[in-house]
Structure 1
Amino acid sequence: MALYRFTRRSLFAATLALVLPLGFIGPVHAKTAQSQWVTVWSTAQMTPGADSALSPADATDATLRQTIRVAKGGDMIRLRLSNAMGTDPLSLRNVHVARTTIAGASTIDPATDHPVTFGGLSDIVIPAGADYISDPISITVADQSVLAISFHMPAGLPQQQTGHPGSRTTSWLVHGDHVSDAELPEAKKFDHWFTIAGLDIENGSARAALVAFGDSITDGYGIKPNSDSRWPDFLGRRMKDKRVSVLNAGIGGNRLLLDGLGPNAQARFDRDVLSQSGVRYVIVLEGVNDLGMLTRDGPVTQAAHDDLVARLKAAYLQMITKAHSHGLKIYGGTITPFMGMDYYHPDALNEADRQAVNSWIRTSGAFDAVIDFDAALRDPAQPNRLSPVYDSGDHLHPSSAGYQAMAEAVDLKLFEN
Structure 2
Amino acid sequence: MITRMIAASLLCVTVAGSAAPAPRETWLRSWASSQQIPEPNNALPDADLRDATLRQVVRVSAGGSQIRVMLSNAFGTEPLRIDAAHVALAAGGASSKIDLASDRALTFDGAAEVTIPAGASYLSDPVRLPVRGLASVAITLHLPDAPARQTSHPGSRATSYVVHGNKVADVELTGAKTVEHWYQIAGVEIMAATDGRAIVTLGDSITDGNGSTTNGNDRWPDRLADRLQASPATRNVTVLNHGIGGGRLLLDGLGPNALARFDRDVLGQTGVRYLIVLEGVNDLGTFTRDAPQTPEAHAALVRRIIGAYRQIVQRGRAARIKVIGGTILPYGGNDYYHPDAQNEADRQAINAWIRAPGNFDAVVDFDAVMRDPANPMRMRADVDKGDHLHPSVAGHRAMGDAVPLALFK
Task: Tell me whether the two structures share a fold, i.e. TM-score over 0.5.
Answer: yes
1:406-417 alignment, distance < 5 Å: 406-416=399-409
Choose which of 315, 321, 324 in structure 1 pairs with 2:308.
315
Deviations 1:348-407 (A, max 9, x none): 110000000000000152100010000000001000100001100000000011111101
Is residue 72–residue 204 contact of structure 1 (8 Å, CA) maintained in 2?
no
Is residue 72–residue 205 contact of structure 1 (8 Å, CA) maintained in 2?
no
- In structure 1, what residue type is equivalent to 2:158? T
Structure 2 counterpart of 1:73: 63
**CA drift at 1:205:** 9.2
Q: Secondary structure at the match of 2:259?
A: helix
**CA drift at 1:188:** 0.2
Choose which of 347, 352, 359 in structure 2 pairs with 1:359.
352
Shift in alpha-carbon separation, 1:205–1:113, aligned structure 2, 3 A = farther
**CA drift at 1:206:** 6.7
2:333, 2:74 → 1: CA distance? 37
Choose which of 363, 371, 374 in structure 1 pairs with 2:364.
371
1:173-188 alignment, distance < 5 Å: 173-188=162-177
Shift in alpha-carbon separation, 1:205–1:231, aligned structure 2, 3 A = farther
Pair 1:220 & 2:209 matched: yes
1:33, 1:145 → 2: CA distance? 23
1:333, 1:123 → 2: CA distance? 42
1:364, 1:163 → 2: CA distance? 38
TM-score normalised by the chain length of structure 2: 0.92
Structure 1 counterpart of 2:90: 100
1:107, 1:327 → 2: CA distance? 41
Is residue 73–residue 204 contact of structure 1 (8 Å, CA) maintained in 2?
no
**CA drift at 1:204:** 4.9
Pair 1:162 & 2:155 matched: no
1:33, 1:45 → 2: CA distance? 34
Q: Secondary structure at the match of 1:197?
A: strand
TM-score normalised by the chain length of structure 1: 0.90
Structure 2 counterpart of 1:233: 222
Is residue 206–residue 245 contact of structure 1 (8 Å, CA) maintained in 2?
no
Q: Secondary structure at the match of 2:303?
A: helix
- In structure 2, what residue type is equivalent to 1:53? A
2:314, 2:109 → 1: CA distance? 35
Deviations 1:290-314 (A, max 9, x none): 0000000110101110000000000
- In structure 1, what residue type is equivalent to 2:374? A
Pair 1:290 & 2:283 matched: yes
- In structure 1, what residue type is equivalent to 2:185? I
Q: Secondary structure at the match of 1:375?
A: helix
Q: Secondary structure at the match of 1:120?
A: coil
1:193, 1:37 → 2: CA distance? 23
Percent identical across equivalent pairs?
54
**CA drift at 1:269:** 0.9
Choose which of 324, 341, 349 in structure 1 pairs with 2:342.
349
Deviations 1:232-274 (A, max 9, x none): 0001001112121111000000000000110000000110111
Pair 1:137 & 2:124 matched: no
- In structure 1, what residue type is equivalent to 2:170? D
2:193, 2:244 → 1: CA distance? 28
**CA drift at 1:112:** 1.1
Q: Secondary structure at the match of 1:271?
A: helix
- In structure 2, what residue type is equivalent to 1:379? D
Is residue 38–residue 206 contact of structure 1 (8 Å, CA) maintained in 2?
no
Structure 2 counterpart of 1:382: 375
1:16-35 alignment, distance < 5 Å: 34-35=24-25
Choose which of 329, 347, 350 in structure 2 pairs with 1:336.
329
- In structure 2, what residue type is equivalent to 1:52? N
Deviations 1:313-337 (A, max 9, x none): 0000101111001100000000000
Structure 1 counterpart of 2:259: 266
Q: Secondary structure at the match of 1:266?
A: coil
1:89, 1:117 → 2: CA distance? 18
Q: Secondary structure at the match of 1:36?
A: strand
Structure 1 residue ranges (4+ consecutive) displaced by more than 6 angstroms after TM superposition? none
Is residue 62–residue 154 contact of structure 1 (8 Å, CA) maintained in 2?
yes
1:196, 1:224 → 2: CA distance? 21
Q: Any gaps of 5 or more consecutive residues in structure 2? A: 1-21
**CA drift at 1:103:** 1.8
1:102, 1:301 → 2: CA distance? 53
